[in-house]
């Protein structure tokens, strides 16, 4: 496909649809220099965005955590997303909503005088990890750690939190892996670069407590599905040495959906029945 800045189509921006190539911002936009930006990744299946309202609510909450007030309500954000999809003729697509500090009277760390702008784009996107849904993703172990909530609002889906994700994913690709697993600032197992992580042992599921990571919407959905099946889910701090004892592993996220993991560094996992079953259940739910 063409580069993301050179395509035909429409992007919703600041209240109206604009031609794809015209959806530009000034070089002195505050977000470009100081990461004053929050975003959401969502998937549209059969013309319906899965849990779109929840994503729009979180977008506004993320902005508030970064001392930004998005000038659009949840209802207006939802309308913008569907307007973009209809304009592009998509029923199955990835949706990216982003809110950011634009250019204005401030061009330093402070940005009170700059407007909060918003855009909604989208594209048609297949499996995030390619053939990993059948073969299992391979994860490196990142050298970086997820930060303490005392250093940055870790509950926000904020652009600045993803720089170490980019660096860690590049390092993983250089080693032949598809992604990387982070530990948090205390050394506990945390998450992948853009997905939450789950482990299976003795028919029960274990997943990191989201006290220093994003409590993903897909994560919450999958926990609910597991509990409906009568499967016990432990949300807790997981130590790195425990990786050796887990039997199965999978990732969850809007882009990742439910993706089995076959390797994390020196540790291997089977692509087992529980993982495949919850992946199938999630697939049926989002397309219902």
Look at residue 126 in the predicted model and tell me its pLDDT: 79
Residue 250 in 3-state DSSP?
strand
**E strands, 80-130, in order:** 93-101, 116-123
10 Å Cβ neighbour count for 51?
Answer: 18
Active-site annotation holder among 51, 133, 157, 169: 157
Alpha helices in the chain (DSSP H): 30-34, 52-65, 74-88, 132-135, 163-174, 217-228, 273-286
Is 237 in the same domain as 193?
yes
Residue 279 shares a structural domain with residue 179: yes
- CA–CA gap between residue 281 and residue 204 (Å, rounded): 17
Considering the domain architecture, whether residues 118 and 15 belong to the same structural domain is answered as yes
On whether both 217 and 280 belong to a single domain, the answer is yes
Is 51 a known active-site residue?
no
Same structural domain, 162 and 238: yes
Asked whether the beta carbons of 126 and 45 are under 8 A apart, the reply is: no
Tens of pLDDT, residue by residue over 69-108, are: 999 999 999 999 999 999 999 999 999 999 999 999 999 9
Contacts for 255 with CB less than 8 Å, ≥ 6 apart? 41, 43, 94, 125, 128, 194, 195
d(CA 48, CA 188): 36
Residue 3 lies in a domain: no
Is the same domain home to 213 and 74?
no
Tens of pLDDT, residues 230-270 = 999 999 999 999 999 999 999 999 999 999 999 999 999 99
CATH number assigned to the domain comprising residue 215: 3.20.10.10
Residues of the chain with pLDDT under 70: none
Under 8 Å between Cβ of 138 and 177: yes
**74 within some domain:** yes
Tally of CA atoms within 13 A in the half-sphere of 202 that contains its CB: 3
What was the pLDDT predicted at 129? 76
71 plus 195 within the same structural domain: no
How many structural domains are present in the chain?
2
Residue 4 lies in a domain: no
Residue 256 counted as domain residue: yes
Q: End of a domain among 67, 89, 123?
A: 123
Contact between 50 and 42 under an 8 Å Cβ cutoff? The reply is yes
The verdict on 103 and 162 lying in the same domain is no
Q: Which domain holds residue 280?
A: 132-286
Report how far residue 29's alpha carbon sits from residue 18's, in angstroms, rounded to the nearest whole number: 19
End-of-domain residue from the set 57, 88, 123:
123
The neighbouring-strand residues paired with 18 are 11
**Do 167 and 221 form a contact (C-beta atoms < 8 A)?**
no
Q: What's this model's pTM, rounded to 2 decimal places?
A: 0.95
Determine whether 83 is exposed, middle or buried from the number of CB atoms within 10 Å of its CB (0-12, 13-18, 19+). middle
Q: Which of 56, 91, 123 is the last residue of a domain?
A: 123
Among 57, 68, 52, 251, residue whose Cα is nearest residue 153: 68
Please indicate, yes or no, whether residues 166 and 226 belong to a single structural domain of this protein: yes
Q: Which DSSP symbol is given to 92?
A: S
Tokens of 2: 């063409």
Q: 228 and 190, same structural domain?
A: yes
Q: Tokens 């015209």, residue?
A: 22
Q: 250 - beta bridge partners?
A: 198, 260
Please indicate, yes or no, whether residues 144 and 226 belong to a single structural domain of this protein: yes
């Amino acid at each position: 496909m063409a580069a993301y800045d050179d395509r035909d189509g429409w992007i919703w921006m600041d209240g109206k649809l604009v031609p794809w190539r015209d959806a530009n911002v000034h070089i002195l936009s505050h977000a470009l220099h100081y990461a004053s930006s929050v975003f959401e990744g969502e998937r549209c299946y059969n013309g319906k965005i899965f849990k779109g309202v929840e994503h729009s609510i979180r977008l506004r909450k993320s902005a508030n955590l970064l001392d930004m007030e998005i000038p659009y309500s949840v209802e207006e954000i939802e309308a913008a997303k569907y307007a973009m999809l209809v304009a592009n003729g998509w029923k199955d697509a990835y949706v990216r909503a982003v809110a950011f500090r634009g250019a204005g009277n401030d061009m330093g760390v402070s940005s009170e005088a700059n407007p909060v702008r918003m855009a909604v784009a989208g594209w048609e996107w297949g499996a995030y990890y390619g053939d990993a849904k059948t073969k299992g993703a391979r994860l490196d172990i990142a050298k970086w750690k997820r930060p303490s909530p005392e250093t940055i609002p870790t509950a926000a889906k904020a652009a600045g939190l993803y720089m170490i994700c980019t660096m860690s994913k590049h390092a993983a690709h250089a080693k032949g892996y598809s992604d990387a697993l982070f530990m948090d600032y205390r050394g506990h197992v945390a998450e992948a670069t853009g997905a939450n992580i789950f482990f299976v042992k003795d028919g029960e599921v274990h997943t990191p407590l989201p006290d220093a990571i994003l409590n993903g919407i897909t994560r919450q959905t999958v926990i609910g599905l597991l509990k409906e099946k009568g499967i016990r889910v432990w949300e807790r701090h997981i130590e790195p040495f425990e990786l050796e004892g887990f039997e199965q592993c999978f990732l969850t996220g809007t882009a990742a959906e439910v993706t089995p993991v076959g390797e994390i560094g020196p540790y291997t996992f089977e692509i087992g029945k529980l993982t495949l079953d919850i992946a199938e259940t999630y697939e049926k739910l989002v397309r219902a």
